[in-house]
Amino acid sequence: MLGVGVEVMALILILSVFNGLEEFQKGLFKTYDPDLKVISNQNTRFTLTAQQLKDVKSLEGIRFVNPILEDQALIRYKNKQLVVRFKGVDDEFLKAERLKKQVVEGDYFVQNGEHAFAVVGIGVFLNMGMSFEDVFTPIEAWYPNHQALKRFTINEQSIRSNRFFPSGVMEVEQSFDNQMILVPLPWMEELMGVENQISALEIMIDEHADEQALKSKIATLLGKTYQVQTRDEQHVALLKAIKIEKFFVFLIMAFVMGIASFTLFYALSLLVIEKKKDLSTLLAMGFTKKQMFQTFLLVGVLISFSGAIIGMLLGYGLGYIQQEFGIISLGIPNSLIDAYPIQMRIGDFIQTALVVIIITFLASIFPARKAVEMTFKR
């Protein structure tokens, strides 16, 4: 019974850690990703008419609609250079105060009069050795002029450039911090040499709005050439990988339970041998084959059911302690979380209990048959 309990406890804790990692990732996405994102099915950049934007903004439940122009470019500061990802944003993006809480140094703005500023990821800021005090040396941004490159000419006209100063430093998560820079949308258009083109339309909705209903309405308004993604769909590959990994861990642990169920098999087999005389007495009292078979099956089910309850209680208790106090650390310095994240779900408890009961039930069948055969052998 204790063996079954330990198996159940281990599986519940492992599945809860995967749930916690999944929710942690979703929490990170919520920090910098929009509720809904519109992209083109055909091109990396597209143009929306003023009427289309007006129709989207007029939908009930829409808070902010932000056109985004995003691409990679090379930056250079003093003797250092780095490939980064620029994200051109408009004034509405700043009014929505997205990423404002993640600014750990400096201010949250990207435009001051005619001068262009940028909110820089902390990884980019440190790697490039940027400084707020250096007001005389701007950071240079270089971007390929695709029209000139189409003519297979490499000269001064093959590269477009622009300049900016850092206004703030943001800290979100490592991959984001090491490459992202927020810049004004007109500045980004000038760097890329495009006009009235965007790479995405990011939409923030009201807290209680129906996300799926708004997604359908926006898709209907814009047509089939555009794709509307929820926050989970923007990272579908990563979330699917977590779910697949969780599924295979569940299968592996179920296999381990199957092997461990041999302890129950041998325990019941020894019980049959030990109670051989008692079984003969029961037979003399009128016990039938069916009743004897059911008795040993019931013993196996009671052991597994009791073990499952103990395991679920232990799993819940340890999970709650980890959730509240974080006693087991990740052991990663400067990580966003100190301890393993835990989120317990009732579905995991039910699945685990069912698997354990089924496996132990199957392990009880052979000893029960053996008891019948030994008793009724004569």
Q: What is the pLDDT of residues 183-206, one digit of tens each?
A: 999 999 999 999 989 999 999 999
Q: Where exactly are the structural domains of the chain?
A: 2-26+238-375, 34-234
Query: What is residue 219's predicted lDDT score, i.e. its pLDDT?
Result: 94
Q: State yes or no: pLDDT of 333 exceeds 70.
A: no
Query: What is residue 150's predicted lDDT score, i.e. its pLDDT?
Result: 57
In sequence order, the 6+-apart residues with CB closer than 8 A to the CB of 173 are: 28, 31, 336
> Can you list the alpha helix ranges (DSSP code H) found in 2-157?
2-32, 50-57, 91-95, 122-128, 146-150
Query: What is residue 328's predicted lDDT score, i.e. its pLDDT?
Result: 86
Query: What is residue 107's predicted lDDT score, i.e. its pLDDT?
Result: 93
For residue 274, give the H/E element and its range.
helix 262-274
Q: Is the pTM of this model over 0.85?
A: no
Q: State yes or no: pLDDT of 289 exceeds 70.
A: yes
The DSSP code for 165 is: E
Q: State yes or no: pLDDT of 335 exceeds 70.
A: no
Query: What is residue 61's predicted lDDT score, i.e. its pLDDT?
Result: 93
Across 70-79, 166-175, 208-217, 330-339, least confident range: 330-339
DSSP code string of 4-46: HHHHHHHHHHHHHHHHHHHHHHHHHHHHHS-SEEEEESS-SSB
- Split at pLDDT 50, 70, 90, the class of 146 is low
Q: State yes or no: pLDDT of 87 exceeds 80.
A: yes
- Split at pLDDT 50, 70, 90, the class of 151 is low
Query: What is residue 82's predicted lDDT score, i.e. its pLDDT?
Result: 96
Query: What is residue 301's predicted lDDT score, i.e. its pLDDT?
Result: 81
Work out the average pLDDT over 257-283.
78
Pick from 73, 65, 68: which is nearest to 46 by CA? 68
Work out the average pLDDT over 235-241.
87
Query: What is residue 5's predicted lDDT score, i.e. its pLDDT?
Result: 86
The mean of the pLDDT values for the chain is 87
Q: State yes or no: pLDDT of 179 exceeds 60.
A: yes
Work out the average pLDDT over 365-375.
75
Query: What is residue 330's predicted lDDT score, i.e. its pLDDT?
Result: 77
Query: What is residue 155's predicted lDDT score, i.e. its pLDDT?
Result: 56
* Gap between the Cα atoms of 194 and 88, Å rounded: 12
Highest-pLDDT range among 74-83, 255-264, 326-335: 74-83
Query: What is residue 265's predicted lDDT score, i.e. its pLDDT?
Result: 75
Query: What is residue 157's predicted lDDT score, i.e. its pLDDT?
Result: 62
Query: What is residue 302's predicted lDDT score, i.e. its pLDDT?
Result: 85
In sequence order, the 6+-apart residues with CB closer than 8 A to the CB of 350 are: none
Q: State yes or no: pLDDT of 156 exceeds 70.
A: no
